[in-house]
Amino acid sequence: MSTIEPIHVIGGGLAGSEATWQIAQAGVPVILHEMRPVRGTDAHKTEGLAELVCSNSFRSDDAETNAVGLLHQEMRTLGSLIMAKGDANQVPAGGALAVDRDGFSDAVTAALEAHPLVTIERGEIGGIPPEEWSSVIIATGPLTSPALAEAILKLTGETSLAFFDAIAPIVYRESINMDIAWFQSRYDKVGPGGTGKDYINCPMTKEQYDAFIDALIEGDKTEFKEWEENTPYFDGCLPIEVMAERGRETLRHGPMKPVGLTDPRNPDKKPYAIVQLRQDNALGTLFNMVGFQTKLKYGAQGDIFRMIPGLENAEFARLGGIHRNTYLNSPKLLDPTLRLKAMPRLRFAGQITGCEGYVESAAVGLMTGRFAAAERLGHPIQPLPHTTALGALINHITGGHIETIDEGPRSFQPMNVNFGLFPPLDAAPKAEDGKRLRGSAKAIAKKKMLTDRAREDLAAWLSAARMPAAAE
């Protein structure tokens, strides 16, 4: 038996299972702690590892023009257990990768139980892990046990960890019509890190505003799950449709107030209401709709938000929502290898870091496991290129997001992998004859250039870092 001190992983979901596998495959012993069935959760039904508690889909498997499909490919290249067992338990789903949830969980559980360097211990870790555990990965997901969540709160000094996560829609900057919208901060205020032109402003007439309010009130909404109903809203954030129901003018005196803003194309006419979007990432490719947290169903959101002048052709990196979640303010609290700055022996993985989705959670677990194993073995840790799907996702979590440019609550929100997290291309895509592409042809060509670049850079990183690809 190896004399290498084991790494401890807390949480047997997708992230914890993947991290455990990566550590063991690197030749380092690992102890996986899963509290089920000793302590259950409101969402899980079994005691299996990597249980899928919601959808059985890993989303698109298109690695040429889809960011999550590219993430699938990169994970397969790095020997992902989650992807291997997902592929082995695939069910028909068109261009998506969907799995038989029970077969998938059983296969992941069996693989980890059979690995000679993996020990699985059932039971809750009720606080900060013991000091003698010199390397720990916390991968407890959105339903972290209350005792552990409270311990993390005390350690990080954050004001809240478990709350209703009020998520505003996030729009790709390039899809906003700047012939209608303009850059300006309210009263031209220059906040910390700001310039006085930090918001994109979309103006509305009274007729447009009234139609928008009607659509908000009439739009289809989702309901809270039973186990969410008694969790208070974070920072008092109310859904915009709830604000609209409280009075037709409520939004116009709240997040849509037009004061302190002037349309440069029509300076003598005051807009009746204004929707503001604020830069969401350091690359400037994503903007979030300020104050637009919502329980509208996704289909309704796209239709209603495109009623806003300037957003008629908006493409969304993510749509809005409000649900119970547990995640860290990771850009502030974690270093680039996902270590907690306040206690570097602790790393975090999965949804608790602020990623969203099965595949993203497993991807962060994959890299956290590799980082921890390399550290334990005394190997250098090479940062991932931000041009890869894995690197772009981790960069967003650990530092690619910008803090709010004015006073208010933190703005870091959970995020699926998307091309808005990738550094822009050096050149615009062109047709074979050298002419500029437009419309859908341009969009597809751009995505293809991003995925080609990602594959090249991942291959170069693997070679330079001398890290193994998929294990035999």
Identify whether residues 193 and 286 lie together within a single domain: yes
The CATH number linked to 316 is 2.40.30
In a domain, 369, yes or no: yes
Question: Same structural domain for residues 312 and 372?
Answer: no
Distances (CA, A) of 260 to 253, 265, 271, 428: 13, 16, 11, 36
Does the annotation place 11 within a ligand binding site?
A: yes
* DSSP E strand stretches across 156-272: 162-167, 170-172, 182-183, 199-204
Three-class secondary structure of residue 105 per DSSP: helix
CA dist., res. 419 & res. 469, Å (int): 24
DSSP states along 439-463: HHHHHHHHHHHHHHHHHHHHHHHHH
> 362: which 2 tokens?
């497993």
126 is in an annotated binding site: no
Domain boundary (342, 376, 399) is at: 399
DSSP secondary structure letter of residue 364? H
Residue 30 CB partners (closer than 8 Å, separation 6+)? 6, 7, 8, 9, 20, 23, 24, 117, 118, 119
Residues 153 and 175 in one domain: no
Q: Is 469 within the bounds of a domain? A: no
Q: Per the domain annotation, does 409 fall within a domain?
A: no
Q: Establish whether 14 is an annotated binding residue.
A: yes
Question: Is 16 labelled as part of a ligand binding site?
Answer: yes
Q: In angstroms, rounded to a whole number, what is the distance separating the alpha carbons of residues 42 and 32?
A: 21
Same structural domain, 338 and 294 = no
Spatial distance between the Cα atoms of 369 and 9, rounded to a whole number of angstroms: 9
Q: What is the pLDDT of residue 102?
A: 86
15 marked ligand binding residue = yes
pLDDT at residue 433, as a whole number: 72
Residues sharing a CB contact under 8 Å with residue 442, sequence separation 6 or more, in sequence order: 428, 429, 436
150 DSSP assignment = H
- Closest CA relative to residue 345, chosen from 155, 208, 183, 216: 155
> Across the chain, how many H-helices and E-strands are there?
12, 17
How many angstroms separate the CA atoms of 412 and 422, rounded? 17
Verify that 289 and 335 share a domain, yes or no: no
Q: What is the DSSP string of 372-397?
A: HHHHHHT---PPPPTTSHHHHHHHII
For residues 267 and 190, the answer to whether their CB atoms sit within 8 Å is no
Annotated binding residue at 399? no
Residue 1 lies inside a defined structural domain of this protein? no
Nearest to 60 by CA among 50, 52, 70: 70
Task: Clarify whether residues 283 and 360 are in a common domain.
Answer: no
Q: What is the C-alpha radius of gyration for the chain, rounded to an integer number of angstroms?
A: 23
Residue 234 and residue 358 in one domain:
no
The Cα 394–Cα 417 span in angstroms is: 10
Q: Is residue 435 part of a domain?
A: no
Q: What is the CATH number of the domain that holds 70?
A: 3.50.50.60
Token pair 């380092």 is at which residue? Answer: 28
The closest alpha carbon to 297, from 412, 214, 218, belongs to: 218
Cα 292-294-296 angle, rounded to 5 deg = 130
Determine the Cα–Cα distance for residues 356 and 396; give it in Å rounded to an integer: 12
Q: How far is Cα 264 from Cα 388, in angstroms, rounded to an integer? A: 39
The last residue of a domain, from among 275, 295, 322:
322
- Count: domains in the chain: 2
Both 186 and 201 in one domain: the answer is yes
Residues 288 and 352 in one domain: no
Q: Among the three residues 399, 424, 440, which one is the final residue of a domain in this structure?
A: 399
| One domain, residues 105 and 182 | no
In angstroms, the Cα distances linking 213 to 96, 204, 241, 289, 307 are 36, 12, 8, 16, 11
> Rounded to an integer, what distance in angstroms lies between the CA atom of residue 93 and that of residue 279?
35
- Enumerate residues 6+ apart whose C-beta is below 8 A from 132: none
In a domain, 20, yes or no: yes
Note down the domain range covering 200: 166-322
Q: Residue 448: inside a domain, yes or no?
A: no
Residues 147 and 17 in one domain: yes
Yes or no: say if 117 and 29 are a contact pair by the CB < 8 Å rule: yes
C-alpha to C-alpha distance for 66 and 53, rounded to whole angstroms? 24
Instruction: Give the separation between CA 344 and CA 350, rounded to whole angstroms.
Output: 17
**Could you give the angle at the alpha carbon of 409 between the alpha carbons of 214 and 192, nearest 5°?**
110
pLDDT, averaged in runs of 10, over the chain (472 residues)? 85 96 97 74 65 83 95 97 95 85 93 97 86 94 74 72 65 95 85 72 96 92 58 58 88 91 92 91 86 87 95 91 75 92 94 88 97 95 93 90 57 82 88 76 91 96 71 40
Distance CA 213, CA 364 (A): 39
Say what the pLDDT of residue 159 is.
56
Same domain, 152 and 243: no
Q: Output the pTM of the full model.
A: 0.80
Tokens 């700055």 belong to: 341
Asked if residue 309 is part of any domain, the answer here is yes
